[in-house]
Structure 1
Amino acid sequence: MNTSTQTVLNVKGVGKCYTKFNSVHHRLFSWMGLPVKPAYQYWANKDISFTVGQGEAIAIIGQNGAGKSTLLKMITGTVRPSVGEIAVNGRVSAMLELGLGFNAEFTGRQNAYMAGGLMGLSTAALDQLIPEIEAFAEIGDFFDQALRVYSSGMQARLAFAVATAVRPDILIVDEILSVGDSYFQHRSFERIRQFKEQGTSIILVTHGMGEVRSLCDRVILIDKGNILKQGAPDEVVDFYNAMIALKENERAQIEQSRDQQGWLKTKSGNGTATVKHLSLLPENSTEELAVAQVGQKLKLHCEVDVHGEIGELVFGVMLRDKQGSVIWGSNTWHTKLVQKDLQTGDKLVYTLPFECNLGPGSYSITTALTRGESHLDQNFEWSDNLLVFDVINVDKAVFIGNHWLDTTFEVAVHKHATLHSSTTQ
């Protein structure tokens, strides 16, 4: 983050401890400052420190129960931290729980007025904003019906429309958009992007790693209430994916490094099977390519070594662009080419022919060696961005985007007939 950017949020040494006492009297004595030993203590968060700059978007990720929601509640002031300080500079708009602050018996319109009032908006201001809120929510006649008849997706639409009716200094979103349909999710994230461009700081909690990669400047990974890692989106997201696999196999290790072109390489797994060599080749050649042409016929060549007994081996490939978005991915589980009963010393060669229907740019290949459909079953080796290559356009018409379509324009012109008359003298 640019250090010259104004800091809008400063979280310093924050922790939240939930304490259980043996009796109500013991709790009362504790409030009075008397030394009482609690029956049980649980730290939902501990020693959390980070800052957020104006216009910066950060994601807070982690598994369920990691402490993400508790942290957001402390930032918004609905929960007081047990230790530490939180300094907020600006107006905060938060969507933490579906229906939070809404009344099930009130209509959508009434709830919009009530929630807007809690946000500090006057009735006069809301009178001006309600038509826009109604239009953005797109729930039709339900806007004037009781909230109790709403689906979860309709509640999410209303909540987001109200929370973003006025651009805040800090916008906090906690998973609420995941219950909406894809159309509304697209519109919502487009509004979030516009807010970010206009200077709003974004704090996003989501399990959608594609959203994290495309929107966020920085990612904070929380595990068991503590910050485990924070940094660039690709670095933290890839580490998180590897960490999930690590939980399934204690012998697995995680290694990370960044190459000279800026691509982050993350490797995890227990090493029972490993990729010996991965290369990109022309269709009828053994000469390895670092640069491919748009439309060129290629093949991916992968050599795998086995270092132990494996009942089932699945080989997977994922193609990503420079922003980390997945272009394509599949594995031999889905194509029914699972290899079984492998022994130490066995070697396998996988070949994947394809046509390079990619736009000019830089791309990477991620490989996975697993036991089942995904690396969550058993991860022998997962290598993010193991192979990086560039694509250039040599002989195709100029186009934009990361996909090339083998097509051309067709045009038919129908000229308007003009009638001319002449007069003979």
Structure 2
Amino acid sequence: MDRIIADNLGKKYKRYSNRFSRLSEWITRNKYSGHTEQWALRRLSFVIRSGESIGIVGQNGAGKSTLLKLITGTTHPSEGRLIINGKVSALLELGLGFHPDFTGKENAAMICQMSGLSRSETNRLLPEIEKFADIGEYIDQPLRIYSTGMQMRLAFSAITAASSDILLIDEAFSVGDIYFQQKCLDRIRRFKDQGTTLLLVSHDMGAIKTLCDRTILLDNGQLILDGQSQKVLDYYNSMIARKTADANIRQTDIGPSRTITRSGTGEAIVQEIEIYKMDGEPARAFQVGEDVEIRCHVKFIQPVEKPSIGILIRDRLGNDVFGVNTHNLNKPVCLAKTEEPLWVQFFLKLNLGCGTYSVTVAIHSKDNHLENNYDWWDQCIVFQIIPNDSFRFSGIASLPLRVQIQRKNPWS
């Protein structure tokens, strides 16, 4: 079932140069125009089906929050069609719908009733909301004395107390402690299992990768990319790094579930990268804990002041496992001249769990690629980790450990 259908959707606002322009328009019945039109969204078309989990990403001002407001009905489109099939629950701006003089319990009851729940349903859910929010005696105190984290706890608990067909969340994980964030993630996963359609707006790429199979990228109010989350996030990551007009982003599909993204300004490029066993042979399968060498061949097209070369290992879901660069390792590279080659070797022990991993390599300045991104080559190598002859374990990290079992208490 199609839960949300957007067809050539657009939303514009009027921007007035001064406070008298609006009054002049009203007095002259729009014969005098004192505004300019600003499109927050333009020509958006997509379909979201029942049970899908969709991430929405984009830089500030891209139109993400405006899209959620259109879906919730708090504002209306200026053009196109938007069809919503099902009950919508939304956690948008922090504190929206709360009254600072009401207690936490009173605000929670008000949110439930605004969501369409009856008084009896609200009274039945209040104990569960109080338990999930876990703010103690503050539940009976006025909201004005709450911290932002406590407000977030109460808002999320009330909005998600009852299941809905569509759940919208806008930056819910930007406040609150790690413990409560994990509780939120667990509840969202439960809703996903029940078939709830999820739309998540977040700058937390980890949350998007964990919860969303599909992601929509917005920029300047337009849909730039709609597809598999890892592919879209790689493109978004490269788009953020693009600081100059001559930087470009290239994506190549090499399979049904793997897309290579490469971006950069081109002053320096990675000509070759390979993973070697310690006997000097290149390989794509390694045992747990095996020592390897990742060797990068870099070429400088133009002189670059103090470049940094780094690697990033990701798991099959695109989650960052380990990343490092020469800047963070205090291995500075002096001024690189034009056409000068450079070989960088990273020696490491692959203390990883069994599974598929990828290597990303980058050349940039300082400690990250957000400034002066010369070359970012994502998923340039995919390799496998297979079991060794030691103990079996679960997870993505093989940690050195020692176990001791005794029948008598050695500390007594």
Common fold by TM > 0.5: yes
Q: Give distance in 2, aligned partners of 1:213 and 1:28.
A: 52
Partner of 2:386: 392
Name structure 1 gaps, 5 residues minimum.
1-5, 415-425
Q: Which amino acid aligns with 2:326?
A: T
Q: Give distance in 1, aligned partners of 2:58 and 2:364.
A: 23
Q: Which amino acid aligns with 1:217?
A: D
Are residue 308 (structure 1) and residue 302 (structure 2) matched?
Answer: yes
Matches within 5 A, 1:17-416: 17-20=12-15, 22-27=21-26, 37-246=33-242, 248-260=243-255, 262-283=257-278, 285-407=279-401, 409-413=403-407
Q: Give distance in 1, aligned partners of 2:257 and 2:157.
A: 38
Are residue 14 (structure 1) and residue 9 (structure 2) matched?
Answer: yes
Q: Give distance in 1, aligned partners of 2:388 and 2:173.
A: 42
Count of residue pairs brought into register by the alignment: 404
Secondary structure of 2:391's counterpart equals coil
Secondary structure of 1:279's counterpart equals strand
Secondary structure of 2:283's counterpart equals coil
RMSD: 1.6
Q: Give distance in 2, aligned partners of 1:322 and 1:51.
A: 27
Q: Give distance in 2, aligned partners of 1:202 and 1:232.
A: 15
Partner of 1:3: none
Secondary structure of 1:379's counterpart equals coil
TM-score of the aligned structures, taking structure 2 as reference length: 0.94
Name structure 2 gaps, 5 residues minimum.
none
Go from structure 1 to structure 2 and tell me whether the alpha carbon gap of 1:50 and 1:179 turns closer, same or farther (over 3 Å shift): same
Per-residue deviation, residues 323-373 of structure 1 (Å, max 9, x unmatched): 001111111111121212110121211111111111111111111100122
Partners of 2:25 and 2:31 within 8 A in 1 = no
Q: Which structure has the larger Rg?
A: 1
156-165 vs 385-394, greater mean Cα deviation: 385-394
User: Sequence identity, in percent?
Assistant: 40
Q: Which amino acid aligns with 1:332?
A: T
Partners of 2:53 and 2:199 within 8 A in 1 = yes
Per-residue deviation, residues 45-91 of structure 1 (Å, max 9, x unmatched): 11111111111000111000111111110110001111122111111
Per-residue deviation, residues 240-285 of structure 1 (Å, max 9, x unmatched): 1111111x121111111133473221100111111121111122x2
Per-residue deviation, residues 87-106 of structure 1 (Å, max 9, x unmatched): 11111110110000000011
Secondary structure of 1:342's counterpart equals coil
Secondary structure of 2:305's counterpart equals strand
221-230 vs 333-342, greater mean Cα deviation: 333-342
Q: Give distance in 2, aligned partners of 1:224 and 1:337.
A: 39
Partners of 1:12 and 1:48 within 8 A in 2 = yes
Q: Give distance in 1, aligned partners of 2:393 and 2:22.
A: 71
* Displaced runs of 4 or more, over 6 A: none
